[in-house]
Each structure stands twice: as C-alpha cells, then as structure tokens.
Amino acid sequence: MNAPSKPTIGVFDSGFGGLTVLRELLPLIPGADYVYVGDTARLPYGSKSRVTIARYAMESAQFLLDRGAEVLVIACNTATALALPDIHSVAGGTPVVGVIEPAAHAIRPALPGQSAHVLVLATAATVGSHAYEIALSKLALVATEKACPLLVPLIEEGWIDHPVTREVLRIYLREALDICTPDVVLLGCTHYPLIAPLVAQTLRELGCPARVIDSARTTAVSVSAIVPHNASPLSAAGATFTCYATDSVEKFARLGSHFLGQPIPNVTLLDLGG
C-alpha cells in the first residue's frame, strides 16, 4: 500500500471536454489519484466576461485544492486564456498547467525553421482571445487561428465519424488552407481529439501534409514532467479518478464516457453557486 505517496492531480474544465486531457494523463501518470471538476451548470464559458470566468475558475480551483490537489490542470481553453493569473493567485505555490503553453512548447522543437506556420483550430471564444497566437508568437511561430463553431455541437451529438462532420471539417479546412500553408495543425479545443483522425484524413484529402498536434496530449506530457511519478505498468492499477459535475451527473457520465474513452461509474453533484 503506497497510498500516502500517490500524488493528487486536480483537473478542471467547464464541461466534459477536459476528460480528453484526463484520458491522456491516466496512462502517462498511472500512479496518481485524479479529481475532475466539470462546471457543466455554467458552461459554455466562451460567451462570458473575463471577470465571470475568472470567478468560476477560481471557485473550481479552490475546490480542487481543498480536495488535496498538488497540481492543477486547467483543461479548458477559455479559462486558460482568460483566468490563468487568477488561478495562480488562488493556487499559491501549487503548480498550475493550462492547455495553451504546453502545446506551443511542444510545437517549437518539431519545427526548427524560421517561418514555421501553425494553423490553430478552436472555438470562436478561444480564437477571439488570440491566446494561441500570442503563445506561439513568443516562440517565433506564426499562427492562423480558425474558428470552427460547429465542431463541438457535432461531437456532442456523437457524429464522430459522420458524413456531415466530414463535410463541415472540409469546409472549415478549405477556408483556412485558402489563406495559409501550415506545417502543423493544432487542435486547440479539448473536444477535438475525438475527431483527430478525421482532421488528419481531411488534410491529406486536401493535399496538405501538415502534422496534427492535439493540446490534450501536449498538456498531459507537460504535467508528467512536473509530477513525481512511477510510470511502470505495475503502478497503473493504482490510478483512480473521481468526477464532480455542477449539473446533471447522469448526462456527465453518459457524454463524458466518450471523451474519457471508458465508463465513468460515479459522478458527484457539486454546488459551486449560481
């Protein structure tokens, strides 16, 4: 029994999208306890003001700290873009990892050229914040940000490998490739890993050789670099996760299982206020 030495990792998103980050974390840091908060009662964050989003994110961060989190993973693009400093102020010395910086840092070494170009696919809110463009420009990477508002609803409808999703993706990518020639296509939304194969296939069909990188994966890799862990297969059996949602726990378990790639046996209703 090595329970006392297991790190507790807190993961936070406005919904279930952040479960794609948890899915990447589980095999990478299998000897940890995970606590996930989906603030589903107050989603989507994208249409709300910075002040409101910061308040929501700080409430979730505080809950995770109270539950013993030794690392906070902000698996939410909007909260990362708009509230990272506020979350740091709540977290004190506890490390905080967002979804944006890790993606930018993962791309730079893969593209040694000066004029490397990244196409960022994201929600309208994330594109409006230009958070990826700013993070990438600090590493001398040029970004084109493309808002893809229909992809989240299509993924939540369960139309993962569906002709309509294929056609919508083709329209969005064609519009983007008309104005840029990317070396990398970055999936800047935690929902998008579910259609990563479709993105890669559509890019090939459009004659674009760009590599697809998803920020769920790069975030998990970044967390694994700062959490002391034993990634041996033996410790895998010790990974546990607990999920909290601020609205319908039934819906969270049902929809969330697609994002996590496994059933979510228990979801606890959490009241973070109005």
CB closer to a second copy out of 45 and 241: 45
Based on the residue annotation, tell me whether 189 is a catalytic residue of this protein. Answer: yes
Strands (E), the chain: 8-13, 33-38, 71-74, 96-97, 117-122, 142-147, 184-187, 211-214, 240-245, 267-269
How many angstroms separate the first and last alpha carbons of the chain? 40
* Interface contacts to a second copy, rule CB under 8 A: 40-41, 43-44, 47-49, 52, 55, 149-150, 153-154, 156-157, 163-164, 167-168, 171, 247-248, 273-274
Q: Which of 148, 189, 208, 243 is catalytic?
A: 189
Handedness of CA 55, 57, 60, 62 (dihedral sign): negative
Q: 71-74 and 8-13 as β-strands: parallel, antiparallel, unpaired?
A: parallel
Q: How far is the CB of 112 from a second copy (least distance, A)?
A: 38
Tokens of 15: 């919904």
The answer to whether 54 and 254 have CB atoms below 8 angstroms apart is no
Q: How far is the CB of 119 from a second copy (least distance, A)?
A: 19
CB closer to a second copy out of 24 and 86: 86
Q: How far is the CB of 56 from a second copy (least distance, A)?
A: 9
CB closer to a second copy out of 111 and 150: 150
CB closer to a second copy out of 152 and 227: 152
The answer to whether 179 and 144 have CB atoms below 8 angstroms apart is yes
Q: Which of 76, 148, 208, 243 is catalytic?
A: 76
Based on the residue annotation, tell me whether 243 is a catalytic residue of this protein. Answer: no
Residues marked active site are found at 76, 189
